[in-house]
Chain A
Amino acid sequence: MNGLRRLFKFAPFMAVFLFLAGCGERRLTALDPMGPQSQWIYDNMILSLYVMAIVIIVVFVLFFIVVVRFRHKEGDNEYPEQVHGSTKLEVAWTVIPLFLLAILAVPTVTGQFYLSNTGLEAQEAENEEEVDEEELDAESAEELGDDVMKITATGHQFWWQFDYDFGDDSFTAGNEVYVPVDTKVAFVLEAEDVMHSFWVPALAGKVDNIPGIENYMWLEASEPGVYKGKCAELCGPSHALMDFRLIALEQDEFDEWATAMQEEEEAPTESLANEGREIFEEQSCLNCHAVDGDGGAMGPSLANFGDRETIANYLDVTDENLKAWIQDPQSLKQGNEMPAYPDLSDEELDALVAYLNQLEKLDPETKEGLERD
């Protein structure tokens, strides 16, 4: 409970903020930051609250004195003294706020550079240097090998695509993004159709996904677990349901997962699931949904569908929900692109669900150990 301990430092706001910290969902609320960036944002929000509290207190005290002391009394028809103003006072309330703002201006500028520093640019510059100077010693070459991890997050109406760039071993995940814990991860943000905005409140500030433009941000999770992310830019009727999950794993667990994601999909051993695989191909699901490196990208990759925390970014993972979704996605998520499959028989649906559920990439133990708050 690092976040709570930090709260105790700010005694005057404690009462308010204990209440605040209590009323948000852990790993969603920005009031319980769980990474260095969100911690920085939180600390500076508190700083600005302190500075602004000075203003609020001064104004409110003055206001209540005025309201209590200077009331018109019955029968008093004299005009009060007609004061023109006071240069001294005017200077005072021009200069003092200037100092208060200066306190906030410094972290504003430094912070903006801190947030914008994804490490990608430095890496690129170094890579170029490497080409120029071939006599690089082994040590710095090793440093270069310690790359910033890069994930491209692309917003679609209304789902997320995450492309992992490991050189030749690249792969794609849909709606759920896995990152190693305690590691700075750079995100390249793009959009396929309209604008979206990538936001994991407990870990980092948001940056917009804009069609035709590449944006950059970074985040780092200090604790393993499942974090909630949201689309923060109005993107159509189901904007509110365009949530996603960020899952932070220990480095070795993450490596294991990444290796599993690069493997080709294999026919399941179970017969029902195998039937489902055939239906998946017959119905041309593969045109839109990849299950490994191959397959379309019109819809989210289903390579690790069995590990999903939600169906369609918000529904609980149950067979009923999955069937309802396949039969009529529009009624569950207005305006999404997936066609309905109302003609599938119950048996076919059962097979399809069995197939999809066994598309797992996460080690069962890891999955069990994932903290969900």
Chain B
Amino acid sequence: MVREATNTLQKSVLWDWLTTVDHKKLAVLYLISGTLFFLKAGLMAVFMRIQLMFPMNDFLSGQTFNEFITMHGTIMLFLAATPLLFAFMNYIVPLQIGARDVAFPFVNALGFWLFFFGGLLVSLSWFFGGAPDAGWTSYVPLASRDYGGLGIDFYVLGLQVSGIGTLVSGINFIVTIINMRAPGMTMMRMPLFCWTTLVTSILIVFAFTPLAAGLALLMLDRMFDGMFFIPGEGGNVVIWQHIFWIFGHPEVYILVLPAFGMISEIIPTFSKKRLFGYTAMVFATLIIGFLGFMVWMHHMFTVGIGPIANSVFAIATMIIGIPTGIKIFNWLFTMWGGKLTFNTAMLCASSFVPTFVLGGVTGVMLAMAPVDHLYHDTYFVVAHFHYIILGGIVLGLIGATFYWYPKMFGHKLNETLGKIMFWMFYVGFHLTFFVQHILGLIGMPRRVYTYLEDQGMDTMNMISTIGAFVMSAAIILLVINIVYSAMKSPREGGDPWDGRTLEWATPTPVPEYNFAQTPQVRSLDPLFYEKIHGDGTMKPAEPIGDIHMPNGSIYPFTISLGLFIAGFGFIMLNMENAIISPWIVIAVGGIITFGSMALHSVKEDHGYHISKETVEQMEKEVGTNG
């Protein structure tokens, strides 16, 4: 079955992207779909801010507003932040550990398509009677069959499908990082981005499983007359909150840890210094990951679990501040004594530090359980988690985009546009969210579609909305920058930033096999080590030879498509007049999914080899181009 590499041009471009199992192409798919979801949810946020611009505004009705808050939160966390982080994890981690691909390329593709079709299923709700409207947390009973509309079914099924995708991708990253490291790349020589990816992936495995279980229970409640969360029938609504937050709190760390990793890559590169306190950083990451599972109840301080439980979880939450503080100071001391270059990536990464501290201190304040009875479910909380998510995750993502863009697309993004974008975003962000702290304290609950006049909230809401406009303009500028740079920016070589880690040792564009010869790693920051102690190139750990590559496959796409169809079928069970029997739709979806799985299992596929001659030829071409 081993065959020579065929000319990929024989297949159509579309087919190539649908069947690809290459981690770099999947990363680009993640990046594009994540960006589209991000823009969609961002637009919803702008609409919500317009609604809240004036007291008793009637731009959106209460129902529509609730659908917007729900979709904004759900999309941003599950369908925008996660895939955008996955994009960089997919592209960069195999390169940073000196691997040719992830451990299971097929599973990698499956993860992407499941996420994509799950997201599509959630989005379909707009065309079938309205989006989910019970908040991204979908608290029962508001989300149970008596009070929640059809939108909740799309939420349940869509997140179930996309959650499986996230789960298998997490498993894939764990195996990749444990097993696929290049010779000499010990665990304690791994770049911090790989460490945070590893911890995040472990969190995904432990956090997305309870979510899947919780969503399954809610599905049984909604579609098959279950009673898990129906208080009148002996169910308990608080159980849902526990299950949700056992997932939901680690989810925050799932998102923020990779952002920490990105910052830990960008700051050393542009400070020209190695990361300060690498070991402490690694252990801080592990401790944050571990403690992340111990604190879910701080989202439920007002639920009435009792003073003892509240106190225990309050103190556990405060303790998370310590490893986070360790990280903050280590970043500061990485920059201390360095030679800092402030381009857009570094602006994002360095301003991340004080911004994240502001989000962190409000986090500690929120951890004080008795005082949280004031903050809980007010705009103070909204301000807090946007400081973490926008000031932390999104700044990290924008920084990472500017930093790794030349590796991914062969050219840099325009720096002038980038810096203008950064300052607009930064100012707009603080304008939007700082006043929201105060709004919460003067009595504005979160998730309100309007507020009355004369409560002293008018001016601050106006400021907040103006900030949101400025921030949107910044994001538009980023999109313009991407288009502009694609046309105008000069091609870059493999190492445009004077990088320190292995991904900069590959040529640009990165060949599909990444490394012609697996590199021998001799230190932390391996490329920097070779620049100081060697000739600036990685020493090979193996002779040049045939490279074994996996074949593309359409099955990840069809398996996911089948689940999408079946999921829609389940939702049809709750539709009042479905055109055809839902069971037929479920059966069709099931046949596609399980049929694809069966075919994939039966069909022998050993992949193919790129011959030694071809590799040598390609390397020579890269050498002349780069």
Q: A101 within 8 Å of B by Cβ? A: yes
Q: A239 within 8 Å of B by Cβ? A: yes
Q: Which residues B223-274 have CB closer than 8 A to chain A?
A: 231-232, 235-238, 271-274
- Set of chain A residues within 8 Å of B447, measured between Cβ atoms: 234, 239
Taken together as a complex, chains A and B put the C-alpha atoms of A335 and B133 apart, in Å, by 13
In the complex, residue of chain A having the shortest beta-carbon distance to the beta carbon of B276: A85
Instruction: Find out whether the CB atom of B302 lies under 8 angstroms from the CB atom of A71.
Output: no
Q: A325 within 8 Å of B by Cβ? A: no
Taken together as a complex, chains A and B put the C-alpha atoms of A233 and B299 apart, in Å, by 12
- Set of chain A residues within 8 Å of B141, measured between Cβ atoms: 193-195, 211
Residue of B341, B364, B373 near A48 (CB, 8 A) is B364
Q: A131 within 8 Å of B by Cβ? A: no
- Set of chain A residues within 8 Å of B342, measured between Cβ atoms: 71
- Set of chain A residues within 8 Å of B443, measured between Cβ atoms: 24-25, 28-30, 201-202, 228, 230
Q: A138 within 8 Å of B by Cβ? A: no
Tell me the A residues contacting B by CB distance below 8 Å.
20, 23-25, 28-31, 38, 40-41, 44-45, 48-49, 52, 55-56, 59-60, 62-63, 65-67, 70-73, 76, 79-86, 89-90, 93-94, 97-98, 101, 104-105, 107-109, 111-116, 189, 193-195, 197, 199, 201-202, 204-208, 210-213, 215-216, 228, 230-241, 243, 314, 334-335
Proximity string of chain B (317-355) to chain A, C-beta cutoff 8 Å, 1 when within and 0 when not: 011011001101110110111111110000000100110
In the complex, what's the smallest C-beta–C-beta distance from B279 to chain A, in angstroms? 7
- Set of chain A residues within 8 Å of B455, measured between Cβ atoms: 24-25, 28, 228
Instruction: Find out whether the CB atom of B139 lies under 8 angstroms from the CB atom of A83.
Output: no
Taken together as a complex, chains A and B put the C-alpha atoms of A261 and B368 apart, in Å, by 40
With contact pairs A105-B318, A334-B62 given, residues A56 and B442 touching in the complex (Cβ less than 8 Å): no
With contact pairs A20-B442, A80-B338, A208-B302 given, residues A90 and B374 touching in the complex (Cβ less than 8 Å): no
Instruction: Find out whether the CB atom of B304 lies under 8 angstroms from the CB atom of A70.
Output: no
Taken together as a complex, chains A and B put the C-alpha atoms of A234 and B456 apart, in Å, by 22
Instruction: Find out whether the CB atom of A79 lies under 8 angstroms from the CB atom of B371.
Output: no
- Set of chain B residues within 8 Å of A238, measured between Cβ atoms: 62
8 A-B contact pairs sorted by A residue (CB < 8 Å): A28-B443, A28-B455, A65-B336, A109-B314, A112-B307, A197-B302, A213-B237, A241-B62
With contact pairs A23-B438, A101-B318 given, residues A85 and B279 touching in the complex (Cβ less than 8 Å): yes
In the complex, residue of chain A having the shortest beta-carbon distance to the beta carbon of B235: A212
Instruction: Find out whether the CB atom of B322 lies under 8 angstroms from the CB atom of A97.
Output: yes
Instruction: Find out whether the CB atom of B332 lies under 8 angstroms from the CB atom of A62.
Output: yes
Q: Which residues B344-385 have CB closer than 8 A to chain A?
A: 350, 353-354, 357-358, 361, 364-365, 367-374, 376-378
Instruction: Find out whether the CB atom of A108 lies under 8 angstroms from the CB atom of B326.
Output: no
Taking A72-B341, A240-B451 as given, write out 13 further A-B residue pairs in contact, using a Cβ cutoff of 8 Å, ordered by the A residue number. Answer: A24-B455, A44-B370, A48-B371, A59-B329, A62-B329, A63-B350, A85-B279, A93-B326, A108-B318, A205-B376, A228-B443, A237-B63, A240-B450
Q: B452 within 8 Å of A by Cβ? A: yes
Instruction: Find out whether the CB atom of A107 lies under 8 angstroms from the CB atom of B373.
Output: no
- Set of chain B residues within 8 Å of A231, measured between Cβ atoms: 445
In the complex, residue of chain A having the shortest beta-carbon distance to the beta carbon of B354: A63
Residue of A79, A201, A235 near B272 (CB, 8 A) is A79
With contact pairs A114-B370, A232-B376 given, residues A85 and B280 touching in the complex (Cβ less than 8 Å): yes
- Set of chain A residues within 8 Å of B441, measured between Cβ atoms: 20, 24, 29-31
Q: B310 within 8 Å of A by Cβ? A: yes
- Set of chain A residues within 8 Å of B180, measured between Cβ atoms: none
Instruction: Find out whether the CB atom of A94 lies under 8 angstroms from the CB atom of B326.
Output: yes
With contact pairs A211-B141, A238-B62 given, residues A112 and B341 touching in the complex (Cβ less than 8 Å): no
In the complex, what's the smallest C-beta–C-beta distance from B320 to chain A, in angstroms? 10
Instruction: Find out whether the CB atom of A116 lies under 8 angstroms from the CB atom of B340.
Output: no
Taken together as a complex, chains A and B put the C-alpha atoms of A230 and B69 apart, in Å, by 19
Q: Which residues B43-75 have CB closer than 8 A to chain A?
A: 61-63, 66, 69
Instruction: Find out whether the CB atom of B442 lies under 8 angstroms from the CB atom of A101.
Output: no
Q: B134 within 8 Å of A by Cβ? A: yes
- Set of chain A residues within 8 Å of B445, measured between Cβ atoms: 199, 230-232, 239-240
Of all A-B residue pairs in the complex, the 9 with the closest CB atoms, nearest first, are A205-B373, A212-B231, A24-B442, A111-B370, A240-B448, A85-B277, A237-B62, A52-B361, A215-B304
In the complex, what's the smallest C-beta–C-beta distance from A14 to chain B, in angstroms? 15
Q: B454 within 8 Å of A by Cβ? A: yes
Taken together as a complex, chains A and B put the C-alpha atoms of A207 and B376 apart, in Å, by 9
Q: B532 within 8 Å of A by Cβ? A: yes
Residue of A56, A65, A195, A232 near B357 (CB, 8 A) is A56
With contact pairs A85-B279, A335-B62 given, residues A239 and B448 touching in the complex (Cβ less than 8 Å): yes
In the complex, residue of chain A having the shortest beta-carbon distance to the beta carbon of B339: A72
Q: B311 within 8 Å of A by Cβ? A: yes
- Set of chain A residues within 8 Å of B350, measured between Cβ atoms: 63, 66-67
Taken together as a complex, chains A and B put the C-alpha atoms of A216 and B377 apart, in Å, by 18
In the complex, what's the smallest C-beta–C-beta distance from B71 to chain A, in angstroms? 14
In the complex, residue of chain A having the shortest beta-carbon distance to the beta carbon of B350: A67
Q: Name the residue among B306, B341, B361, B370 with the largest chain A CB count within 10 angstroms.
A: B370
Q: B426 within 8 Å of A by Cβ? A: no
With contact pairs A101-B364, A240-B449 given, residues A212 and B232 touching in the complex (Cβ less than 8 Å): yes
